């Protein structure tokens, strides 16, 4: 995917998105496209080998690049939401953590489709959740 980013800059957003999905689905018990997930074995593996911090940092790094280069692109907004839901499901972030709030607020701020389903659901989630400080 890095070859696409370097050699085809006009297609880089797609490469970043698929790189994110590939990173999220390192666990063999995950099919991120179909939404199938076995979080129990994944959390044990990450905690057992101390990989959680490295895993999350690599995901955040991809999101940061997408946010910097393509903040309002629909795939960037989708990347925020996929990452948040995935990391909550994997018990890496809690549903009311500051990290979740940060990425959901970025999704709201950068989403140009203010009447779209993703925007409205994200806004409702933020309004109804008492986030940790």
CA–CA distances in Å: residue 23 to residues 28, 58, 110: 11, 8, 23
Q: Check whether 85 has a pLDDT greater than 80.
A: yes
Q: What is the pLDDT of residues 45-68, one digit of tens each?
A: 566 556 777 888 899 999 999 999
Where does the pLDDT of residue 133 fall: very low under 50, low under 70, confident under 90, or very high at 90 and above?
Answer: confident
Whole-structure pTM over 0.95, yes or no?
Answer: no
pLDDT-derived band at 91, boundaries 50, 70, 90: confident
């Amino acid at each position: 995917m890095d070859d696409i980013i370097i050699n085809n800059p006009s297609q880089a957003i797609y490469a970043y998105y698929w790189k994110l999905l590939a990173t999220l689905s390192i666990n063999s018990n995950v099919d991120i496209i179909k939404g199938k997930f076995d979080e129990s074995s994944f959390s044990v593996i990450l905690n057992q080998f101390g990989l959680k911090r490295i895993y999350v940092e690599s995901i955040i790094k991809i999101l940061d690049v997408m946010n910097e280069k393509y903040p309002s692109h629909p795939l960037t907004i989708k990347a925020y939401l996929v990452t948040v839901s995935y990391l909550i499901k994997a018990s890496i972030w809690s549903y009311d953590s500051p990290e979740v709030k940060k990425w959901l607020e970025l999704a709201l701020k950068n989403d140009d489709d203010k009447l779209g389903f993703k925007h409205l659901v994200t806004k409702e989630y933020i309004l109804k959740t008492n986030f940790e400080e």
